[in-house]
Amino acid sequence: MSGHPYCRRFSNEEIMWIKEMCMAGIPPRQILSSLRQSNPHLRAISRNIYNKKAKILEESLAGRTVIQALVDELGEGGFSYNIEYDQEGYLTHLFFAHPISLELSKSYPHVFLMDCTYKTNKYKMPLLDIIGVSSFNTSFYSCFVFMQKEEEKDYVWALEMFNKILGVHNQPLVIISDRELALMNAIRIVFPSACNLLCVWHIEKNILANCKPYFREEVDWVAFLSTWADLIKSPNESSFDKAWDCFENEYKENAAVLNYIKGTWLPLKEKFVSAWTDEVAHLGNRATSRAEGAHATLKKYLQVSTGGLREVKEKICLAIEHQFQEIKTQLSSEKVRVPHRLRIPFFKEVVTHVSMFALDELYKQHEAAKYGNLSSQCTGHFFKTMGIPCGHMIKDMKIQVLPLNAIHNQWRIDARLFNNDQHASLDDENDQINSLLLDFKEKYEKLPILQKDDTKRQLSQFVGTSFPLILEPKIQPHKGRPLGSKKRNESSSTRREPSKFEIVEKSRKCSVCKGVGHNKSTCPFQVAS
């Protein structure tokens, strides 16, 4: 009897546990281990958990298609969302923002980071992840967009949806991305007043991938990177011009490297060189490392890259809710926390009103002003970029107590109260609808009989309109070697493919110049000689 399926059935209580653990994103094997701890005589195997999970999913659909169920859940959950589909009815774009994310985005609208991540769903659709920055200098998920392609029109559609949920009074000041030209063009179209900065880390890695093969010795490459770092840290335009002249003169013999820098990065210097970026309030964000970290965190929840959009949405919700609870707890903690070192008159007005991150930065500047550890001249860059008074300003103020309005609103915690009400973000919109309904009712009562009948018929048609049948997205073509190749195996891993700079760093070296990215037959030095 031990091999009969009847012996491996679950009790009603165990089925409830399985449902709860599935909703929490716990893998089937761990679910089985948990059940066996409470019931050592359980004879079920992993396949029984998978079957029960599939049955739970089928019951949750209740006869609906996957996309219909997804749209219903988004609407019922208070999400801000939109979809697009092609002429054949296949889903091509899906935008959604959790009500919690919407509340955070409107509370912190100053700086956002945008980047796509891959290997998140079985349709191989790129996922545009928009990340915000909180008062505590931590990250939060703002919204997600599944797109068919990464072309300019796709990004424009995504950013227009993002712009719509933010509203006209919450426009971003700074948007940070990598050198994705389609995304950069979309940012310029949708957010013309925002300053689009480029990730300095990605720039360095692009230079590594494209320039390192042209340097024979490692010491020459290290010297080149040092010169480049000094160039992009130029504090003003005149110093940048001088540094660029020296850079151009030093590497004039290396035409390939110089042409790459001139053609690719020099036209975009205003987006990553300190002389220009230090004039905008980027709040210390000059790289998309936040976005990369957010991608990694999200993939820990996803676990596999073969889930459908509905499953991915559920895992995203878990990540957002966990993230929100962390922010909410930290907010409550810092409103009552007063570190001993800040118990001095200067911080009287700002302590418990400003985040600890901002207070720590302010304390460093206060100590520098107190002990005279300041540079000879104030550039004003720290205050412009961080929204926190620098040591020079503190010294010049000659005041006993710093006023609260001297701190950028980004770092304020006293006026923020997150209620975690899923429908709170819709209150304003509901008020507008109720106002329109009252106006409509008042006008309707004054209409002639025939116009009343016509109006009722139009309303009946609107209310009775059914949601169009939308099919699951088409699987996007795989990049690289065709799937039928024996040398390429399909994987459910969410691990990203190696970037070009990683391939260059790990590649075998040329036997002639000891460079990477080529062999002796294609060595640029061999060809030149």
The predicted-structure confidence for 285-315, as pLDDT tens digits, reads as follows: 999 999 999 999 999 999 888 889 999 999 9
CB contact at 8 A, 358 and 135: yes
Residue 514: predicted pLDDT? 59
Give per-residue burial for 159-178: e unless 16+ CB within 10 Å, then b: bebbeebbeeeeebbbbbbb
- The number of beta carbons lying within 10 Å of the beta carbon of residue 284 is 16
Q: Which DSSP state fits 471?
A: B
Residue 309: predicted pLDDT? 94
- 521: amino acid identity, one letter: S
Residue 419: predicted pLDDT? 67
Which of the four pLDDT bands, split at 50, 70 and 90, describes residue 24? Answer: confident
Rounded to 10 degrees, what is the CA torsion of 264, 270, 271, 272? 80
Q: Which DSSP state fits 192?
A: T
Helix (H) or strand (E) holding 85: strand 80-85
Give per-residue burial for 18-37: e unless 16+ CB within 10 Å, then b: beebbeebeebeebbeebee
Helix (H) or strand (E) holding 439: helix 427-444
Q: Looking at the chain, how many residues does it have?
A: 529
Pure H helices in 337-426: 356-371, 381-386, 391-397
CB contact at 8 A, 387 and 338: no
DSSP calls for 261-278: IIIIIGGGGGGT-HHHHT
Is the pLDDT at 484 greater than 60? The verdict is no
CA pair distance 75, 82, nearest whole angstrom:
10
DSSP calls for 222-272: HHHHHHHHHHHT-SSHHHHHHHHHHHHHHTTT-HHHHHHIIIIIGGGGGGT
Phi-psi category of 480—alpha, beta or left, where left has phi over 0 and alpha has psi -120 to 50?
left
CA pair distance 445, 458, nearest whole angstrom:
16
Helix (H) or strand (E) holding 114: strand 111-117
Q: Strands 195-198 and 139-147, how do they pair? A: unpaired
Give per-residue burial for 263-279: e unless 16+ CB within 10 Å, then b: eebeeebebbbbbbbbe
Which of the four pLDDT bands, split at 50, 70 and 90, describes residue 453? Answer: confident
Q: pLDDT for 348-389, tens place per residue?
A: 999 999 999 999 999 999 999 988 888 888 888 999 999 999
Tokens 């990553």 locate to 272
**Positive or negative, the Cα torsion across 101, 102, 106, 110?**
positive
Averaged pLDDT, 507-528: 64
Averaged pLDDT, 337-357: 93
CA pair distance 50, 28, nearest whole angstrom:
7
Q: pLDDT for 388-424, tens place per residue?
A: 999 999 988 888 899 999 999 999 998 887 765 544 4
